[in-house]
Amino acid sequence: MNVLFLCKSNVTRSQIAEAFFNKYSKIDNAESSAIIKPQEKMHRLVVRAMNEKGIDISKNISKKVTKKMINEADIIILMNPDLKNLIKINKKVKIWNIPDVISREEDEHIYSEFVKIREMIEEKVKELLIRISR
């Protein structure tokens, strides 16, 4: 099964989801992408949060969603309901209500927000893997 995780810029939520899915899945595959605008590099605080879980995403690349990605996906997961209006998809779509954390890389004071969404996404990925393995 191929899973596509989509968020606005593909540097936080969808990257975290892709990393956890590919870490925990034995046979399925995931990729992630941006609906609006890919960024030049991974957010430093996101990289730090994932490193705490033993996952290095520092070399990941933010990418824009393509028709090919959508066509090859068995399940598409939008990171929040607001994204539904930005893309027209006729496939099986699930919506996760994961808040977007917007910050500069220097904003250490909100690092805990990245950890919070990391934990939310990890739990949702585990639940998804249980559902699709049935």
Q: Quick check: 85 pLDDT over 90?
A: no
The per-residue pLDDT for range 11-58, each reduced to its tens digit, is 899 999 999 999 999 887 888 888 877 787 888 999 999 999 999 999
Question: In angstroms, rounded to a whole number, what is the distance separating the alpha carbons of residues 74 and 29?
Answer: 10
Q: With CA atoms as reference, report the closest residue to 87 among 34, 31, 40.
A: 34
The per-residue pLDDT for range 100-127, each reduced to its tens digit, is 888 777 788 899 999 999 999 999 999 9
Question: In angstroms, rounded to a whole number, what is the distance separating the alpha carbons of residues 122 and 132?
Answer: 16
SS3 5: strand
Q: For 101, how many CA atoms within 13 A lie in the half-sphere containing its CB?
A: 25
